[in-house]
C-alpha cells in the first residue's frame, strides 16, 4: 500500500495547478490567476510501489461562478520517458526528495490502475491516509472481458479522452458537475466511475468522474 507522508511540498500541488490549469483546453476560467482550494479526491496504489497515483479534485473561485476540476496526477522520482509534454511541474518532498508531477492521463501506470479499478481488481484509497480504502468511490462495469491498459490521451474543450488501439475510449470528466446518479448517456457506457467532493458551500456532493465506451464515443456523454 502507498504511504501518505505528513511532510512538506515545495511548491505545493495547488501552486503547480494554479500555473498549469489555464494551459488546458477544458479550463473554464478567464485571464486571471485561478484561486484553487482542494475539494476532494482519492488515490490508487501502484503494485510496484514506485509511482504515486492521485485523483485530486480542486475548485477554482476566481471567476463569476466556482468551477470544480478533476486532475489525475502521478508522482515520480525519475523522469517518465516520452512524457515531457505531460509534466505539470516538480516539487521538493520533505521525505522523498525531488518529485515530478505528471498529468496522469499520459502515465501508463495510472491508466492501468484506473482500468483495474473499473474491473474491480483495485480499490480506491483514501487521499490523506495510508492503507485506508475509500469506499465512496464507486465503479460500475457492465461490459464483459478485460479492459485495455494502453491508452493515448487527448484533451479537448470537454475533457480528456483516453483511447485504446481497439477503439475503446475512457472519457474523463475534467469539469465536474454534481449529480446523484449518472445520466442516461453515462449509464449507456460500458462502465463509469463516480465519487464525492466538497462543494464551495461546504456540502458533500458526488458525480461522475469517468465513463467507458467500447465503440465510437457518444458525444452526448
Distance, in Å, from the CA atom of 97 to the CA atom of 168, rounded to the nearest integer, reads: 37
What pLDDT score does 124 carry?
97
Instruction: Find the mean pLDDT for residues 206-217.
Output: 82
- What does DSSP assign to residue 65? S
Instruction: Please state whether the peptide bond connecting residue 11 to the residue before it is cis, i.e. omega within 30 degrees of 0.
Output: yes
Q: Is the pLDDT of residue 211 over 50?
A: yes
Exposed e or buried b per residue across 45-71, where buried means at least 16 C-beta atoms within 10 angstroms of its C-beta: bbeeeebbbbbbbbbbebeeeebbbbb
How would you classify the pairing of strands 52-60 and 169-172?
Answer: unpaired
7-23 pLDDT, tens per residue? 788 999 999 999 999 99
Three-state DSSP at 30 gives coil
Q: Is the pLDDT of residue 220 over 50?
A: no
Beta bridge partners of 51: none
Q: Is the pLDDT of residue 172 over 60?
A: yes
Residues whose CB is less than 8 angstroms from the CB of residue 6 and which lie 6 or more positions away in sequence, other chains included: none
Residue 143 host element (H or E):
none
Instruction: Find the mean pLDDT for residues 55-67.
Output: 95
Output the nine-digit C-alpha cell for 78.
525519475
pTM over 0.95? The answer is no
45-58 pLDDT, tens per residue? 999 999 999 999 99
Amino acid at each position: 500500500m502507498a504511504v501518505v507522508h505528513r511532510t512538506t511540498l515545495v511548491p505545493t500541488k495547488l501552486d503547480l495547478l494554479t500555473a498549469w490549469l489555464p494551459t488546458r483546453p477544458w479550463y473554464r476560467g478567464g485571464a486571471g490567476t485561478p484561486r484553487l482550494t482542494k475539494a476532494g479526491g482519492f488515490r490508487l496504489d501502484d503494485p510496484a510501489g514506485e509511482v504515486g497515483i492521485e485523483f485530486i479534485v480542486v475548485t477554482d473561485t476566481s471567476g463569476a461562478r466556482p468551477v470544480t476540476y478533476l486532475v489525475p496526477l502521478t508522482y515520480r522520482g525519475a523522469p517518465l520517458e516520452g512524457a515531457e509534454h505531460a509534466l505539470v511541474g516538480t516539487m521538493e518532498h520533505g521525505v522523498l526528495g525531488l518529485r515530478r508531477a505528471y498529468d496522469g492521463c499520459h502515465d501508463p501506470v495510472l491508466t492501468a490502475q484506473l482500468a483495474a479499478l473499473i474491473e474491480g481488481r483495485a480499490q480506491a484509497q483514501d487521499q490523506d491516509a495510508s492503507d485506508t480504502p475509500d469506499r465512496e468511490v464507486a465503479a460500475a462495469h457492465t461490459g464483459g472481458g478485460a479492459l485495455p491498459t494502453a491508452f493515448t490521451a487527448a484533451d479537448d474543450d470537454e475533457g480528456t479522452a483516453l483511447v485504446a488501439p481497439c477503439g475503446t475510449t475512457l472519457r474523463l470528466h475534467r469539469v465536474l458537475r454534481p449529480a446523484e446518479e449518472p445520466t442516461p448517456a453515462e449509464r449507456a457506457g460500458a462502465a463509469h466511475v463516480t465519487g464525492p467532493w466538497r462543494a464551495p458551500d461546504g456540502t458533500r456532493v458526488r458525480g461522475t468522474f469517468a465513463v467507458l465506451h467500447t465503440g465510437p464515443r457518444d458525444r452526448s456523454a
